[in-house]
Amino acid sequence: MLLKRYPIALIMCLLCSVCMAADLKKSVVLVEPEYEEMSEFFSSYALPLSRYGFRWESRTMMAYNNGVSGSGVVVQREDSLVLLTNRHVVGPAHTVTVRVQEGKRIRDLKHCPVVAISPLTDMAMVALPDSSGLVPLPLSDSAVNDADEVWAAGFPGLGGEPSWQVTQGVVSNGELYREELLGKQQAAIQHTAPIDAGSSGGPLLRKTDAEDYVIVGINTWKAGYRDGVGIAIPQDAIRHFLANGNEQESKTDAERTEEWNRLIREDYVLASEALSVDYLMSRSAEDWDAVFEIMGYTNQKNLYDMDRVDALDILRLTWAFDAMRFAMAGGEGAHFDIVWGDVQGRRQIVALTYPELTKRQYMQATKRIRK
């Protein structure tokens, strides 16, 4: 009798696993940034970036243009549902399409707005419609420990198309400190559950005593030269992001303008962070090419050597350098007129009017900066 029960028990366990995986598809979804309005912008910069040696950044621009996707997980935030994913998944997109797999059918939730991002922890938050029909997954109440069993869920690529995948592994390092990952103060989770391109933004999960899944992390990176090494953002960082969003100081636009006019003279790298993708799209690739050319070898090399710089950061830094050049040339009285707007939930510069300079002022400032 005992031998006959084993197959039945095994079948019941398999059925339970299938049901749990199916339920996960109500909470773990495919995320596709909506880049239609940015297509010409991406194409125009691919060649200039490559010509100056930014080949990876050039390929990133083309990847944006060809269409990219990642994963995301639904959570509860106060009285509404939101989607958590990686910042590098949404990229510069203002909105995303959330694709929900329902058996053989795919249901699309289009034009879901990106409402907050965290460049440091590589997280993004997307608002969902009230009628989404999605089910939130709870966050774990406790941190993981080494050797804890975990699962990774998401939509990595298979044959050139996103494909649903749930994998199993263990926590190989519950407190991984690497400054290049999440900064000096925030630990990441290292684990062995297989993840691949497209898994980014999907959850790292564990099971409760009741066999329910809870979120312990958001999968973000995969080690390039080691097998079985995935990196996830831990649940304490996720909670902080959910509670604080973009964490911007409460200021008027006039105060922001005054501060930026001062900052552009003192630290153009920091000032560059306020330039939105909308502003970048308003400037031509031909003008960017001309500005980059006059920066000089030292300033160009600084851009090559910076860590964690993506294609759009290269553009931001170049235009901020150009603004610094004008600020220095015009003296203390030279100020920029700035239009601020909400982009990905942050107050950023969407339009910038340069101070007027004489030709002599312009040439002198350029000469000083190139030294």
For residue 366, what pLDDT is reported?
63
Residues 232 and 263 in one domain: no
Boundary-marking domain end, from 183, 209, 244 = 244
Residue 81 in any domain: the answer is no
Is 239 within the bounds of a domain? yes
Would you say residue 136 lies in a domain?
Answer: no
Q: Does 246 have pLDDT greater than 90?
A: no
How many H-runs (helices) and E-runs (strands) does the chain carry?
A: 13, 16
173 with 195, same domain: the answer is yes
Per-residue pLDDT reduced to its tens digit, 2-18: 333 434 333 333 334 44
Which of 216, 244, 272 terminates a domain? The answer is 244
Helices 297-305 and 311-330, interaxial angle, to 10°? 140
For the cut 80, the answer to whether the pLDDT of residue 180 exceeds it is no
Same domain, 279 and 349: yes
Domain-embedded: residue 200? yes
199 and 296 housed in the same domain: no
With contact defined as beta carbons under 8 Å apart, do 343 and 330 qualify?
A: no
Flag whether 103 is in a domain.
no
Structure confidence by residue, pLDDT tens digits, 79-104: 899 999 999 999 999 999 999 999 88
Residue 43 lies in a domain: no
The predicted pLDDT at position 362 comes to 65
pLDDT category at 304 given cuts 50, 70, 90 is: confident
Average pLDDT over residues 128-147: 92
The CATH number for 195's domain is 2.40.10.10
Residue 139 DSSP code? B
Residue reference for tokens 């959570």: 75
Verify that 230 and 270 share a domain, yes or no. Answer: no
Domain that holds residue 265: 253-370
Same domain, 282 and 263: yes
> Are 203 and 300 within one domain?
no
Q: What is the pLDDT of residue 66?
A: 81
Q: How far apart are CA 38 and CA 93, in angstroms?
A: 8
Residues 262 and 296 placed together within one structural domain of the fold: yes
Shared-domain flag, residues 172 and 226: yes
Residues 360 and 266 in one domain: yes
Clarify whether residues 160 and 222 are in a common domain. yes
Whether 168 has a pLDDT exceeding 90, the answer reads: yes
Residue 341 in any domain: the answer is yes
Residue 263 sits in the same domain as residue 361 = yes
User: In the chain, how many domains are there?
Assistant: 2
| Residue 222: inside a domain | yes
Give 69: exposed, middle or buried? Use CB within 10 Å, 0-12, 13-18, 19+.
buried
Boundary residue ending a domain (183, 212, 244): 244
